[in-house]
């Protein structure tokens, strides 16, 4: 019987761990024709919108109001316009700074806390974990509203720091939650032997466990990075000028003020530009991302 | 549960005590930081929501008690946003669970192309929500969009509709954009649950002569329940906070305003700090109540986790 817990089978690297009792691969199963229809439908549903976004981004002028399946004369004008747009480039810089700083700070704090929660003897562990998990369900508006008032009073409104701090509210518990389940997978014998050699628990953590946890840390870093990069509500509430806006807000305001007068070609091009690096990241780190997303979901 | 953990306090070795001290020291920084960035703001939001702030004179405010809440709860705007948010959450989460379960079953089969399917399915996850909204906007744009063009070509209704301009249609686009982006998440959680069902279970069912559909209904689905519930909890909590999609697609027009959007509008656009804070606290409470209900009625196994951790 499977129960949901924050534990998983024991292997140091969540990405390379053997998958728990896999259904026997008796060669390759023959799919029912209807299943193939479903496979094709799922692939189409996942890919066609991407194609349409790219298709739109390559259209200019009159062809932007026609639904041709291929851009008649593909034009990179929209892409050029995006890269010549100073506000977009500033937003890109802002997003990188915010995501890198938030991820780093969250991981440093979270790796210590997660190790204690996963491995050390401690009182009220369950309560602390529940508390941490419950923060991830907070609606961002409940943080954004008071921050909006506080930041305007102390001058952090519309600054990068003023965005990094509230983004930590969600990045930190996410990192703690994932890392706790990763640390639990590292075999206990490793610490025991470090203790035998006279190491203190903290030394064991720093010298033995942390190096082994690098794959887990990388997984957590990728997922925290994606979630910070994606975050929109805090970013739109706590900024007002292009100097402090990260990418999602810049793109949303690219759209102009009226919904009938939008530079949809340029918006699509900007969307493609910021999506490509993330798609590459997902392709390269597929296994890690899957293991991080399902961290703690299932116990064998 | 181990015997050691049953006897805290008495007869604890020095190493035990050192370990507990270290544990406190290692968790304290995170807990303090979280108190600062989560507890303090929420507490301050409660305070803000009990006051009224002058729109004209900065810093001028007066204590009004629960007046902001009674105003909000008496306004049709709040209940409209409340209803729309739950409509959105209900539609998108049920679609995601059904589609996610189907995808997970497929991904659990060994067939040629499974690796490719898994990669393709994961791709929309890489997309930021704002871009997902724009992508679906291009799909439904009058004249330009693929869906609108296909519908007109086939002579089906919807081809000449300004989808984002009408309530039902706009809601459909918002739901689709969410299903597209987040079904992979549901599918992967459910797939993880599927992979820990021992093969013997299926063999036994096969021996008993159970058909495929019977096996799925009476064996797979009940064993999969914990994973499906977990996916449902995560997705519902997320859907109730929906903000990005309606913000980009409709700016909340045509009755698509969500709870978070309403609070944002009052706060940022109308500069009503007190009322905006009250609305965000109401959103917060709504989400908390739903999560408690979920865990109380559907998440027996989640409570087991808490016990196991002790």
- What is the distance between the alpha carbons of residues A196 and A198, in angstroms, rounded to a whole number? 5
Count of other CB atoms within 10 angstroms of residue A242: 16
Could you please report the per-residue DSSP string of B255-286?
TT--HHHHHHIIIIIS--HHHHHHHHHHHHHH
Who among B148, B189, B191 is closest to A67 (CB)?
B148
| Four-point Cα dihedral B103, B106, B108, B113, nearest 10 | -110
Instruction: Give the distance from residue B181's alpha carbon to the nearest chain A alpha carbon, in angstroms.
Output: 9
Q: Which residues of A touch B310 (CB under 8 A)?
A: 125-126
Choose the most confident range, by mean pLDDT, from B15-19, B29-33, B58-62, B89-93.
Answer: B89-93
| The pLDDT of residue B2 is above 60 | no
Domain boundaries defined on chain B: 4-49, 71-309
**Hey, which residues 67-106 in chain B have their CB within 8 Å of chain A?**
102-103, 106
pLDDT-based confidence at residue B310 (cuts at 50, 70, 90): very low
CATH 3.40.50.300 holds for A85-293: no
Q: Which residues of B touch A69 (CB under 8 A)?
A: 146
Q: What is the CATH number of domain B71-309?
A: 1.10.3720.10
Asked if A124 and A234 touch (Cβ cutoff 8 Å), the reply is no
As beta bridge partners, residue B63 has B51
Instruction: Please tell me which residue of chain A has the smallest CA distance to B195.
Output: A22
| The pLDDT of residue B52 is above 70 | yes
The whole-chain average pLDDT of chain B stands at 86
Cross-chain Cβ contact A236/B306 below 8 Å: no
Over residues A108-148, the pLDDT tens digits come to: 999 999 999 998 888 888 889 888 888 888 899 999 999 99
Instruction: Give the distance from residue A145's alpha carbon to the nearest chain B alpha carbon, in angstroms.
Output: 6
State which residues of chain A have pLDDT below 70: 1-29, 255-262, 296-300
Mean pLDDT, residues B88-111: 93
pLDDT at B299: 59
Whole-Å CA distances, A135 to A20, A163, B26, B291:
30, 18, 19, 12
Distance between the two ends of chain B, CA-based, in angstroms? 8
Over residues B195-212, the pLDDT tens digits come to: 888 888 888 888 888 788
Please give the helix or strand (H or E) that residue B308 lies within, else none: helix B300-309
Q: What is the 3-state secondary structure (H, E, C) of B14-83?
A: HHHHHHHHHHHHHHHHHHHHHHHHHHHHHHHHHHHHCEEECCCCCCCEEECCCHHHHHHHHCHHHHHHHH
pTM over 0.90: no
Instruction: Please tell me which residue of chain A has the smallest CA distance to B183.
Output: A46
Cross-chain Cβ contact B305/A4 below 8 Å: yes
pLDDT-based confidence at residue B300 (cuts at 50, 70, 90): low
Over residues B230-267, the pLDDT tens digits come to: 899 889 999 999 999 999 999 888 888 999 999 999 99
Who among B118, B122, B277 is closest to A146 (CB)?
B277
Share of chain B above pLDDT 70, in %: 92
- What is the distance between the alpha carbons of residues B79 and B85, in angstroms, rounded to a whole number? 10
**Tokens representing residue B5 in the block:** 């953990």
Instruction: Give the distance from residue B135's alpha carbon to the nearest chain A alpha carbon, in angstroms.
Output: 5
ipTM, two decimals, is 0.86
Choose the most confident range, by mean pLDDT, from A36-45, B11-20, B159-168, B295-304.
Answer: A36-45
Over residues A74-112, the pLDDT tens digits come to: 888 889 888 888 889 999 999 999 999 999 999 999 999
Cross-chain Cβ contact B146/A52 below 8 Å: yes
pLDDT at B212: 80
**Tokens representing residue A3 in the block:** 């129960």
**Hey, which residues 178-217 in chain B have their CB within 8 Å of chain A?**
180, 185, 188-189, 191-193, 195-199, 202
pLDDT at A13: 46
Mean pLDDT, residues B34-59: 87
Cross-chain Cβ contact B199/A24 below 8 Å: yes
Whole-Å CA distances, B163 to A37, B64, B172:
28, 42, 9
Instruction: Give the distance from residue A226's alpha carbon to the nearest chain B alpha carbon, in angstroms.
Output: 8
Q: Name the H helices within A231-285.
A: 233-237, 247-254, 264-284
Interface test with A, best of B39, B48, B127 (most A CBs within 10 A): B127
Comparing B123 with B285, the larger pLDDT belongs to: B285
Cross-chain Cβ contact A113/B27 below 8 Å: yes
Residues 6+ apart with CB under 8 A from B56: none
Interface test with B, best of A47, A116, A139 (most B CBs within 10 A): A139
pLDDT at B199: 81
**Tokens representing residue A295 in the block:** 């961290």
Q: Which residues of A touch B5 (CB under 8 A)?
A: 121
> What is the torsional sign of CA A100, A104, A106, A111?
positive
Q: Any idea which residue has 């009224």 for tokens?
A: B52
Q: Which residues of B touch A223 (CB under 8 A)?
A: none
């Amino acid at each position: 019987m499977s129960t949901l817990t924050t534990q998983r089978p024991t292997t140091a690297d969540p990405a390379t761990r053997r998958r728990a009792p896999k259904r026997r691969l008796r060669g390759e199963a023959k799919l029912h024709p209807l299943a193939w229809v479903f496979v094709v439908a799922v692939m189409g549903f996942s890919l066609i919108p991407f194609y349409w976004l790219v298709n739109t981004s390559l259209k200019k002028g009159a062809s932007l109001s026609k639904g041709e399946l291929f851009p008649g004369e593909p034009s990179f004008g929209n892409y050029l316009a995006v890269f010549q747009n100073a506000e977009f480039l500033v937003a890109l810089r802002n997003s990188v700074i915010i995501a890198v700083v938030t991820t780093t700070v969250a991981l440093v704090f979270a790796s210590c806390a997660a190790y204690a929660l996963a491995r050390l003897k401690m009182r009220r562990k369950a309560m602390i974990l529940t508390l941490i998990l419950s923060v991830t369900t907070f609606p961002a508006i409940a943080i954004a509203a008071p921050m909006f008032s506080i930041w305007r009073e102390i001058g952090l409104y519309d600054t990068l720091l003023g965005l990094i701090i509230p983004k930590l509210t969600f990045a930190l518990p996410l990192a703690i939650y994932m890392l706790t389940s990763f640390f639990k997978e590292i075999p206990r014998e490793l610490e025991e032997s470090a203790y035998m050699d006279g190491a203190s628990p903290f030394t064991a953590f720093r010298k033995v466990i942390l190096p082994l946890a690098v794959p887990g840390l990388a997984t957590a870093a990728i997922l925290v990075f994606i979630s910070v990069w994606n975050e929109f509500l805090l970013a739109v509430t706590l900024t007002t000028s292009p100097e402090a806006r990260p990418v999602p807000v810049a793109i949303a305001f690219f759209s102009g003020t009226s919904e009938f007068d939008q530079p949809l070609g340029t918006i699509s091009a900007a969307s493609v530009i910021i999506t490509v690096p993330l798609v590459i990241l997902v392709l390269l780190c597929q296994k890690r991302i899957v293991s991080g997303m399902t961290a703690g979901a299932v116990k064998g | 549960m181990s015997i050691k953990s049953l006897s805290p306090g008495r007869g604890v070795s020095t190493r035990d005590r050192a370990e507990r001290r270290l544990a406190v020291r290692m968790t304290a920084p995170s807990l303090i930081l979280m108190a600062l960035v989560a507890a303090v703001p929420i507490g301050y939001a409660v305070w803000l929501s009990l006051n009224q702030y002058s729109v004209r004179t900065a810093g001028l405010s007066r204590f009004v008690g629960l007046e902001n809440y009674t105003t909000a709860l008496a306004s049709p705007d709040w209940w409209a946003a409340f209803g729309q948010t739950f409509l959105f959450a209900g539609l998108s989460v049920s679609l995601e669970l059904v589609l996610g379960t189907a995808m997970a079953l497929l991904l659990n089969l060994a067939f040629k192309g499974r690796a490719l399917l898994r990669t393709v399915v994961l791709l929309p996850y890489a997309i930021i929500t704002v871009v997902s909204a724009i992508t679906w906007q291009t799909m439904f744009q009058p004249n330009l969009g693929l869906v609108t063009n296909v519908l007109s070509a086939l002579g089906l209704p919807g081809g000449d509709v300004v989808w984002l301009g009408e309530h039902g249609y706009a809601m459909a686009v918002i739901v689709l954009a969410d299903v597209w982006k987040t079904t992979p998440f549901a599918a992967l959680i459910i797939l993880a649950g599927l992979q820990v069902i021992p093969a013997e279970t299926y063999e036994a069912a096969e021996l008993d002569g159970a058909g495929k559909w019977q096996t799925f209904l009476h064996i797979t689905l009940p064993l999969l329940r914990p994973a499906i519930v977990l996916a449902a909890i995560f997705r519902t909590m997320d859907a109730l906070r929906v903000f990005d999609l309606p913000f980009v697609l409709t700016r909340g027009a045509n009755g698509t305003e969500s709870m978070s959007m309403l609070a944002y509008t009052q706060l940022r656009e109308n500069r009503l700090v007190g009322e905006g804070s009250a609305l965000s606290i109401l959103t917060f409470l709504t989400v908390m109540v739903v999560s408690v209900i979920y865990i109380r009625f559907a998440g027996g196994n989640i409570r087991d986790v808490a016990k196991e951790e002790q």
